[in-house]
Amino acid sequence: MGRVWRDSARIRIITAGLVSLPVLSASCAAVDAEPDARPKSFTASASNPATAAYEAQLQACYADAKAHDPDLSVHTVALYFARDGKLVFADVELPKAPELARCLSDAILSSKVFEPPIAQESGAIASGALRIDLGPPLTVPAPRPTLADVRARNRRATLAALQQGALRESDPIVRELRNPPPPWPTREMQAELEACHSDALKAHPGLVLHRDVIYLTRAGKVLLADVSIPEDLDLRGCVLARIQSWSTPLLGSPEETTLSGFFMSLGAPETLPDPPRSLNAELGRRKALLRRALELDLIKADDPVLKRFESPGPTQTSDPRANEASGEH
């Protein structure tokens, strides 16, 4: 999961490529497929002169490993941590090719290409993932990991970063790992969402949803939320109304606004959301939620949460779903 932690604020970005939970998997295999089947990997800005050097480093790592295994193919996700906007830890898990994993991790860590989004301010800790595709493409998509798989991988990476000194015991991400908070939404809250879903089944039998919900909170209350449910706008309205009536366990001063989110599964066991969109689209969706909150006078123009999205970097996408942020307060 792509997250930005601060002692009293957290921001999470879920995207394809730069920050990607649903594609978390690791595999080295001999494969063959049509070009269109090749997974799309994240490419840093083409205008950045460091991009070519970074890609050359990855290819050099792969070429060296391929000399020992001509059929080697790598399709995986590297996890990273950043402090003050700078990468401090990168981890690639390739159990069958540990030397290649170390080489790729070193290449990412030494790269000047990537700057974690909205994590530039002093004291911010960010985590995320980078897609790596080297060699022949997969003939069959890799199985999507479960949330349990993702949490286990994040735990391993967090402990490894702590052991190497990239993270500290005082960092919120480590404190949260040592003392996990109670599940949220609670069972009672989940039951409210399931009641909305049950009503929607009358018009949409068999409807299953795995979606990423984002929301604004202040003083322990949800101010505004957003979720994409184009299949049933009435269901979307019901879900948003329930979420916007909730209290949250997020800590912070009464004046501080926090942007956060959670995974919502309805009609099936908990799993990761549908494949995510681009980083631009995800940031655009969050900007749209903040603009809507500003229009409703739920936040002020000088709110720090707005400033975190004003730094240079990815801009809003034209993806229509980026403009779905809405709701009643």
- pLDDT more than 70, % of the chain: 73
Residue 111 pLDDT level (bands cut at 50, 70, 90): confident
Name the packing angle between helices 233-243 and 187-200 (round to 10°).
160
Give the confidence band of 57 by pLDDT, cuts at 50, 70, 90: very high
Amino acid at 167: L
Burial letters for 226-246: b for 16+ Cβ neighbours within 10 Å, e otherwise? bbbbeebeebbebbbebbbeb
Q: Quote the percentage of the chain above a pLDDT of 90.
A: 46
Q: Is the peptide bond before 320 cis (omega within 30 degrees of 0)?
A: no
Using DSSP, state whether 21 is helix, strand or coil: coil
- In the predicted model, is pLDDT for residue 215 greater than 70? yes
Residue 122's pLDDT is 65
Q: Which stretch, 42-46, 142-146, 289-293, has highest mean pLDDT?
A: 289-293
pLDDT at 197 over 90: yes
Residue 261 has pLDDT above 50, yes or no: yes
Q: Exposed/middle/buried for 177, CB within 10 Å: 0-12, 13-18, 19+? A: middle
- Main-chain phi, psi angles of 234, to 5 degrees: -65, -40
Calculate the CA dihedral of residues 120, 154, 276, 239 and round it to 10 degrees. Answer: -100
DSSP 104-126: HHHHHHH-SS---TT--STT-EE
* Span 7-37, pLDDT tens digits: 333 333 332 222 323 223 333 332 222 222 2
Is residue 132's pLDDT more than 70?
Answer: yes
Q: Per DSSP, what are the bridge partners of residue 30?
A: none
Compare 84 and 311 and report the one with higher pLDDT: 84
Instruction: Output 206 or 46, whichever has higher pLDDT.
Output: 206
Which residues are 260's β-sheet partners? 215
pLDDT tens-digit profile of 178-187? 988 888 899 9
The mean per-residue pLDDT over the stretch 207-228 comes to: 94
Token output for 241: 């109304």
Q: Check residue 321 and give its pLDDT.
A: 33
What is the chain's mean pLDDT, rounded? 77
Q: Characterize the bridge pairing of strands 209-218 and 221-226.
A: antiparallel
CA–CA distance, 89 with 110 (Å, rounded to integer) = 10
d(CA 288, CA 323): 6
Residue 320, pLDDT score: 32
How many H helices and E strands in the chain?
8, 8
SS3 299: coil
Question: Residue 105's pLDDT band (boundaries 50, 70, 90)?
Answer: very high
Interatomic CA distance for residues 92 and 105, integer angstroms: 6
CA distance 224 to 189: 16
Residue 318 has pLDDT above 60, yes or no: no
Distance between CA atoms of 169 and 161, rounded to whole angstroms? 11
Q: Which tokens in the block code for residue 163?
A: 């052991």
Burial class of 297 by CB neighbour count within 10 A (0 to 12, 13 to 18, 19+): exposed
Lowest mean pLDDT among 53-67, 112-126, 146-160, 218-232: 112-126
Residue that has been written with the tokens 């069959």 in this structure: 140
Position 169 scores a pLDDT of 94
